[in-house]
Amino acid sequence: MHKVTKIGVLTSGGDSPGMNAAVRAVVRTGIYHGIDVYGINRGYSGMVENDIVKMESRSVANIIQRGGTILKTSRSKEFMTPEGRQKAYNNLKALGIDGLVVIGGDGSFNGAQVFSNEFDIPCIGIPGTIDKDIAGTDFTIGFDTAVNTAVEAIDKIRDTMDAHDRLFVVEVMGRDAGYIALHSGIATGAENIIVPEAKTDIEEIIKSLTEKEKRKKLVNLIVVAEGGEFGGADEVGKLIKSRIPTADVRVCILGHIQRGGSPTCFDRLIASRMGFHAVECLMLGKNNVMVGVVNNRMHYTPLNAAVKAKEKFNKDWLKIVKILAS
C-alpha cells in the first residue's frame, strides 16, 4: 500500500448529474481508510485561491440524489499559467495534501496531467461529463441522466407533433460528440439523427422528407447534436423550410435542462464505484490514471491517453437509425 495521508477532491468543467455521488464516495472511502479528505471548491479556481475545506462523513450526507455539484465548478484561466499552478501547489502543500481526485472531462484531465508532471502530486481522474466523449470508459457520469432527460422531453414533443402533423427539429447537447443525439434519437424513433462524427447527406434527408410528404406522412422527428455540421437545429430547420416550403417545421432546443436533475440509478452506481476505486488507486500508488468502467469491469487509462483519444463512434448505429425509420 502506498502511504497517502491527505487527499483533495474537486469537480471541474461542465457539471453533470452524479458528480455528488462521486464526491460522497471519495470522501467516505478516504475516511474509512483513515485518510483526511479536503473538498476543493470551484475546481482549479478554488485550488489557486485556497478555497479548500476539510470534509467529514456528514459533509456528504444526503447528496447522492442531488444533481449539480456541492463543490461547485468553474473554468480557471489562472490555473492554465505556470504561476497559477505554482500557487495551487503551494496551497495543497501547506495543507499536506499528497493526492488529488479530479472529477470532470478531458479539459480537467489535461489540467491534472500537466499539474502532476510539474509537481509531485499524484492525480486520479473520474470521468464526469454528460457527453460520453472520453476514451477508456463505456459510460461517463451524467450521460445516462442527460439522455433520459432528453428522451422524456422528446416524447412530450412527439405528442404535439402527432396532434399537429408537424416536422420537429430537436437540438440536444453535444458540441463535439453526438452520443446524446444518437441514443435519444434511437430511443424516440427519430427519422434522422445529425451528429458531428458522421457526414450528413442533407440531400438524402430532403428527398426522404419530400417523399414522405407526398405519402402524407407529415410527422417527422430530426434530432440534431448542437455541434452537427450545420451548426444546430435552427440552421437545419431553416434549410428544410427553404427546400420544402409547404412543410410545417418547428425547432426546439433542449439546452441546459439536460445537465440538471436528480441522477439516475445507473449514474449513482457508476459514480459511487468510480469514487471508491479512485481512492484505492491513490493508496496502491496507481497514479495519473482515469478510473473507468469497460464491460462492467474497472478499467484504468493513463490520464494523457484519456485526453488524447476520443471514444470511438460506432457507425453501425446510424445504419440502425436508417432502417428503423424507413
> Catalytic residues, which ones?
131
Contacts of 143 by beta carbon, 8 Å cutoff, 6+ apart:
16, 129, 130, 131, 132, 179, 180, 267
Written as nine digits, the cell of 247 is 412543410
Question: According to the annotation, is 85 in a ligand binding site?
Answer: no
- Beta bridge partners of residue 7, listed in sequence order: 37
How far is Cα 299 from Cα 293, in angstroms, rounded to an integer?
A: 5
88, burial (CB in 10 Å: exposed 0-12, middle 13-18, buried 19+): buried
Question: According to the annotation, is 326 in a ligand binding site?
Answer: no
List helix spans (H) across 125-178.
143-164
- Beta bridge partners of residue 224, listed in sequence order: 171, 194
SS3 16: coil
Question: According to the annotation, is 35 in a ligand binding site?
Answer: no
How far is Cα 22 from Cα 56, in angstroms, rounded to an integer?
A: 15
SS3 23: helix
Question: According to the annotation, is 105 in a ligand binding site?
Answer: yes
Question: According to the annotation, is 178 in a ligand binding site?
Answer: no
Q: Which of 307, 289, 309, 278 is nearest to 26 (CA)?
A: 278
Question: According to the annotation, is 106 in a ligand binding site?
Answer: yes
Question: According to the annotation, is 242 in a ligand binding site?
Answer: no
Question: According to the annotation, is 107 in a ligand binding site?
Answer: yes
Question: According to the annotation, is 257 in a ligand binding site?
Answer: yes
- Beta bridge partners of residue 192, listed in sequence order: 222
Question: According to the annotation, is 268 in a ligand binding site?
Answer: no
Question: According to the annotation, is 66 in a ligand binding site?
Answer: no
Residue 138's CB: how many other CB atoms inside 10 A?
15
Question: According to the annotation, is 243 in a ligand binding site?
Answer: no
Question: According to the annotation, is 76 in a ligand binding site?
Answer: yes
Residues annotated in a binding site for substrate: 129-131, 166, 173-175, 226, 250, 256-259
Indicate the annotated binding residues for ADP: 24-28, 158, 189-191, 215, 217-219
Which residues contribute to the annotated binding site for Mg(2+)? 106
The annotation places the binding site at 14, 24-28, 75-76, 105-108, 129-131, 158, 166, 173-175, 189-191, 215, 217-219, 226, 250, 256-259
Residues annotated in a binding site for ATP:
14, 75-76, 105-108
